[in-house]
Amino acid sequence: MKQNSKLDYPFSKRPPDGGTIEVTPNIFWLRMPLPIALNHINLWLLEGDEGWTIIDSGMATKESKTIWNNIFTKSLKKKPVEEILITHMHLDHSGLAGWLANKWDIEPHFTEKEFLETVKINNGMNDDQQRIYLDYYKKCGYDEEAQLHFIERNKYRQSLVTNLESSFQELDDQQTVKLSNGLWQIIIAQGHSPSHACLFSEENNVFICGDVLLPRITPNVSVNPAYPDGNPLKDWLDSLENIKQKIPDDVLVLPSHGYPYKGAHLRIETILKNHHDKLNKIYENIDEPKTVVELFSVLFESQINKHNIILAVGETMSHLNYLVAESKLSKSIDKNGLYSFSRT
Ligand SMILES: [Zn+2]
C-alpha cells in the first residue's frame, strides 16, 4: 500500500444523463442512464479525423435509443460511427450492440466468449439450460421464491438485449487494435465475465477498464452454474496482477461506473486485499460444515433476498471454490441436497 492511499479524481463534475464531457483530447465521456439500481453506465466516444468509435452500448431501452439518436445528430460533428467495441457481455455494456451495429452497418468488436454469451442472453435459455442452472442454485440454497424469480429475471434480461448479427471482429489478448483516435492495446481480464476486454492507449496514457477497475465497487466474481467447479476467482486475481504489470500507475482510468481516476495500482491492491480478506473470513468461519447460505452473513452486511441472491451466491461460491482448489476446503452434498463445505 502507498502511504497516501487515496485515488485522485481529476473531474469534480460528471456529464448529465445523456450528455458528454471531453475527458482528454478526442475522448468523450457519455453518461447513459440504466433502469436498475446501478443507475448509470459510462460509455466512451473516441473521435478521429474521419469518424468515431463507440465503447460499450447501454441497455436496450427506449430511453437509451433516444439518447443515442440525439448524440448522433448533435454531438458527432457530422462524422459517422466507424467502430463499436463492447468490453463484455453484461447487459449495460452489450444490450444495444446489435442495434448500433445495424444502424451504422458495421461489425462490432468483441472477444469471442463475450460475443457468444451476449447472443445466448438474446436467445434466452432453453429448458435444458434452465434445469442445469436451477439444479446448481438449489444446491446453493435457493428457495422456491428465488427459483421463480430467477426464471422471471431471465425473461426480463432477454428484453434488454437487441439481436446481434452473426459476424463480429474478434479481439484477442495483447492485440493492438486501430480505433478512430489511434492504437489501443487489448488486455483481457477473466473472472468478472469470461473474457472482458480492457483497452490501454500508451500514447494518451488512458486505460478504459470496463467493469474491471471500478473506483468504488468491487466487481462481482461469480461461478458460472454451467461449470459449478470452476475457479473464476483465481482467473480474476491473476488478471489483476497481470494488468498491474501492463499499465502505469499514473494512467487515467476510465471506468464504466463512477468517476475517472488516477491510482490504478492502488485500486488493484485494494481489490486484491478485499478478496484475500474474504477468503480468510470464510475459512475461519468454517469451523464446522457450512452451506452457502450459512456463509452470507460472513460476507455481506445487507439482507440477502430474491433480488440479490444471484450475486451473493456467485460471489460466495467463487471464494469457496478457490479454497477448494487450494485444498483448504472440501465440497460435498449434504443430506438436504445442499453444497456443504468443510476444512480438509
Ligand atoms: Zn460487468
Per residue in 127-153, pLDDT (tens digit) is 999 999 999 999 999 999 999 999 998
Do β-strands 40-47 and 52-55 pair in parallel, antiparallel, or remain unpaired? antiparallel
Separation between Cα atoms, residue 9 and residue 22, nearest integer Å: 15
Per-residue pLDDT reduced to its tens digit, 282-334: 999 999 999 999 999 999 988 998 889 999 999 999 999 999 999 999 999 99
Closest among 32, 193, 217 to 121, alpha carbons compared: 193
Question: 232 C-alpha vs ligand 1 centroid, how far in Å?
Answer: 14
* Mean pLDDT over the full length of the chain: 95
- Between the CA of 88 and the centroid of ligand 1 the distance, in Å, is 7
Residue 248 · residue 263 · CB < 8 Å: no
Lowest mean pLDDT among 34-38, 42-46, 225-229: 34-38
Cα–ligand 1 centroid distance for 332 (angstroms):
30
Determine the Cα–Cα distance for residues 313 and 295; give it in Å rounded to an integer: 10
Q: Span 20-123+165-284: which CATH code?
A: 3.60.15.10
Compute the distance between CA of residue 342 and CA of residue 332 in angstroms, rounded to an integer: 8
Q: What is the distance in A from the centroid of ligand 1 to the CA of 306?
A: 20
* Burial grade of 157 (CB within 10 A; 0-12, 13-18, 19 or more): middle
pLDDT in tens, 214-265: 999 999 999 999 999 999 999 999 999 999 999 999 999 999 999 999 999 9
CA distance 303 to 324: 26
CA of 94 to the centre of ligand 1 (A): 10
Cα 56 to averaged position of ligand 1 atoms, centre (Å): 11
C-alpha cell at 57: 452500448
Q: What is the DSSP letter of 147?
A: H
- Residue 188 Cα to ligand 1 midpoint, Å, equals 13
Residue 86 burial (C-beta neighbours within 10 Å; 0-12, 13-18, 19+): buried
Q: How far is the CA of 50 from the centre of ligand 1 (A)?
A: 31
DSSP state of 294: G
- What's the pTM value of the predicted model, to 2 decimals? 0.94
Ordered by start, the domain boundaries in the chain are 20-123+165-284
How many angstroms separate the alpha carbon of residue 90 from the centre of ligand 1?
5
Measured in whole angstroms, the distance separating CA 82 from the mean position of its chain's CA atoms is: 24
What per-residue confidence (pLDDT) applies to 252? Answer: 98
Can you tell me the mean pLDDT for 38-61?
96
